[in-house]
Chains A and B, each alone.
Chain A
């Protein structure tokens, strides 16, 4: 390591390896290199297989500047000997650093590297100066130098990968936001509708459970069963019929399941109806936008798409239950309530009473 091997040492090694006498090998080595130098001078080119190429190069005259004085002076043309190691030998000599490859780097990294490189380079050059005076550059030391370089490169790669990842995530988020913004009219309306409906239903339920009495408060499609004096219901019925003429329900005089309303004496005190009237109209108006629209839509469409084939079951109404809730329970959707109404020939869904027996039809898609 780091030794300067002269002719006699080389001859020693030769004799050990080749089984020659030391004197003979020394003579051989001497001759070998003498021939090379002579041939370079005479022929200008010597190629030794396994070692490399020695070449005589003619340098032209060139002008240079004295760094200290700034004077210009000529460097006269001269010859020099260049040496290019054999490719195989070159690779074998460079074995400790064979793992490294030339990599492309960005400008920023290059700048960083240049800044970082300054110190080590300076230190390196000092080391080299020292080693030149004594011996050649130590190979192991240089191999150790290489390790941090590898680390740096891998770290840099990791950082670059992370940056790429972050950029990707950000761009995906951006696309999502843009998509949401663009399709908001579509999605947003639907969401808003659903929210509105939910709020309505909740309001209705809140109203139904504690009170149980005010018939008039309920919208037509959500009429619960009440336990009320028939008088009031009667009046409410009248009100609702007048308020919602758009229900195209087949109006049969005698609903099969509901209480015989007709038999009841129709004694309506004027004061009572007077009181109830405004309430009904108000509520109908409040809910008319959605409820009335739903009513017309569903009654028209939903008695067409399905055929009623037979009877699924008979349901006895309990307190607080509505036709729509039955539809939700038996069909999974509120929208199919008109079929129950139609099947039972219910004249007015708002007039149903507790204990009424509702036949649930079996529905089949047409």
Chain B
């Protein structure tokens, strides 16, 4: 496989993954981990120096959780 072909394939993979995440699905790969979209609730954050309170809106964040197989390889 040439580099160009590889890049092209990576591109299509990214598009597919993005589509999955936008639909709210998660990707689970054995030996690697889980990539999923999680909803973070809105919260009030306080600037410790100024004391200004900010309402941080809720958001959807892509998270990654490594698989236990991968974790075991870590020190």
**Size bracket of the B interface:** 35 or more
Q: CA–CA, A357 to B62, complex, Å?
A: 106
Residue ID in chain A nearest B64 by CB atoms:
A83
Chain A nearest Cβ from B31, distance in angstroms? 7
The answer to whether A4 and B70 have CB atoms under 8 Å apart is: no
Task: Tell me which of B12, B26, B29, B61 contacts A90 (CB under 8 A).
Answer: B61
Asked if residues B28 and A6 are in contact (CB atoms below 8 Å), the reply is yes
Contact B58 A78 (CB under 8 A): no
Residue of B nearest to A77 (CB): B75
Contact B70 A37 (CB under 8 A): yes
Is the Cβ of B20 less than 8 Å from the Cβ of A5?
A: yes
Cβ contact within 8 Å between A93 and B25: no
| Chain A residue at minimal CB-CB distance from B30 | A7
Give the residues in chain A near B37, CB-CB below 8 Å: 93, 136-137, 139
A79/B58 in contact, CB under 8 A: no
Q: Is the CB of A2 within 8 A of B57?
A: no
Whether the Cβ atoms of A105 and B44 lie closer than 8 Å is yes
Q: Does A212 make an interface contact (CB < 8 A)? A: no
Of B8, B11, B12, B25, which one neighbours A136 at CB under 8 angstroms?
B25
Interface size on A, residues (CB 8 A): 71
Q: Which residues of B contact A14 (CB under 8 A)?
A: 12-13, 16
CA–CA, A109 and B52, complex, Å = 12
Q: Say yes or no: is A113 at the interface (Cβ < 8 Å to chain B).
A: yes
In the assembled complex, A121 has its CB within 8 A of some CB on chain B: yes
In angstroms, Cα B31 to Cα A36, docked, is 11
A126 to B59, CA, bound (A): 18
Residues of A within 8 A of B12 (CB): 14, 17-18
Q: Is the CB of B16 within 8 A of A138?
A: no
A110–B44 CB distance below 8 A:
yes
Q: Does B55 contact A (CB under 8 A)?
A: yes
CA distance A179 to B45 in the complex (A): 45
13 sample A-B contacts, Cβ–Cβ < 8 Å, listed by A number: A28-B13, A51-B14, A83-B62, A95-B22, A102-B56, A103-B54, A105-B55, A113-B44, A117-B42, A121-B41, A136-B24, A137-B37, A137-B38
